[in-house]
Amino acid sequence: MKVLVPIKRVVDYNVKVRVKADNTGVELAGVKMSMNPFDEIAVEEAVRLKEAGTVTEVVVVTCGTAACQETLRAGLAIGADRAILVETDAELQPLAVAKLLKAVADKEQPNLIICGKQAIDDDANQTGQMLAALLGWPQATFASKVVIAGDKATVTREVDGGLETIELSMPALVSTDLRLNEPRYATLPNIMKAKKKPLDTHKPDALGVDVTPRLKTLKVVEPAKRKGGVMVPDVAALVEKLKNEAKVI
């Protein structure tokens, strides 16, 4: 069984992003980039399935600039077998990415796709669901547990108010939530090994996908700042403020 894991290069989650002075976006020059944290969980899950003998091959794929090779190598260092880069300098929105990934999936014919539930840059939470729809596959988003048995995937999902378990007929797509697993740190030998693993590059044109953005970003601004608050010395002062100043209790 083959697993395809789409991943994304994003601004590292520890970076405090700054809006550009001309309000066209956020400052990306010189900013640390990393694999989207949910995608690391997806790669880890796929590699664990391989280690358990359920899966025979793990393929990581990403869409973006040549710099994304670094992110693919990070996936290979966790334990993926090979990597695919759909290389383009164009702005990619989730629908376009889903179409590119569908084209890759059509070539690769995986039985399972595991992806992160959302990227922490655009916070869109769309690509996996769109990809599943375009492939005509069932999906289990926000997964906290995945069990593969035969041609069925039983997935526990994090939903509002608790957990829900569904069963999918494979091929199927799973998107990861935070508590699915804790990704390993890549060891130095595995990072070295990852440099020698195969990495293929495709162009969107060759995949027959039009990636023209559908949404136009008119401006990006900083959110309204909260006014600085005050420190109160004790509980009595806090209660007084809440009752008489804020009037919320």
Partner 1 sequence: MSVLVIAEHDNASLKSATLNAITAAAQCGSDVHVLVAGNNAGAAAQAAAQVAGVAKVLTAEAPHLADGLAENLAEQILAIAKNYTHVLAPATASGKNVLPRVAAKLDVSQISDISKVDSPDTFERPIYAGNAIATVQSADAIKVITVRTTGFEAAAATGGSAAVESIAAVGDSGKSKFISRELSKSDRPELGAAKIIVSGGRGVGSGENYHKVLEPLADKLGAAMGASRAAVDAGFVPNDYQVGQTGKIVAPTLYIAVGISGAIQHLAGMKDSKVIVAINKDAEAPIFQVADYGLVGDLNEVVPQLVAAL
* Binds partner 1 (CB under 8 A): choice among 65, 121, 181, 184: 121
CA dihedral 103, 92, 69, 41 (to 10 degrees): -80
Q: Of the ranges 57-65, 70-78, 104-112, 113-121, which one interacts with partner 1 (CB under 8 A)?
A: 113-121
Give the shortest CB-21-to-partner 1 separation in angstroms: 13
Tell me how many residues contact partner 1 (CB under 8 A). Answer: 80
How crowded is residue 130: how many other Cβ atoms within 10 Å of its Cβ? Answer: 20
Structure tokens at 130: 């769109």
Told to check if 235 binds partner 1 by CB under 8 A, we report yes
Told to check if 21 binds partner 1 by CB under 8 A, we report no
Peptide bond into 171 cis (omega under 30): yes
Give the shortest CB-188-to-partner 1 separation in angstroms: 27
Cβ neighbourhood burial of 140 (10 Å; 0-12, 13-18, 19+): buried
Told to check if 192 binds partner 1 by CB under 8 A, we report no
Q: For the segment 138-167, give every residue that binds partner 1 (CB under 8 A).
A: 138-142, 144, 154, 157-167
All residues at 6 or more sequence positions from 22 whose CB lies less than 8 Å from its CB, including other chains: none
Q: Decide: 7 and 72 in contact? Cβ < 8 Å.
A: yes
Q: For the segment 91-110, give every residue that binds partner 1 (CB under 8 A).
A: 93-95, 98
How crowded is residue 160: how many other Cβ atoms within 10 Å of its Cβ? Answer: 5
* Binds partner 1 (CB under 8 A): choice among 125, 145, 193, 197: 125
Strand partners, 33: 11
* Binds partner 1 (CB under 8 A): choice among 1, 2, 12, 26: 26
Give the shortest CB-183-to-partner 1 separation in angstroms: 13
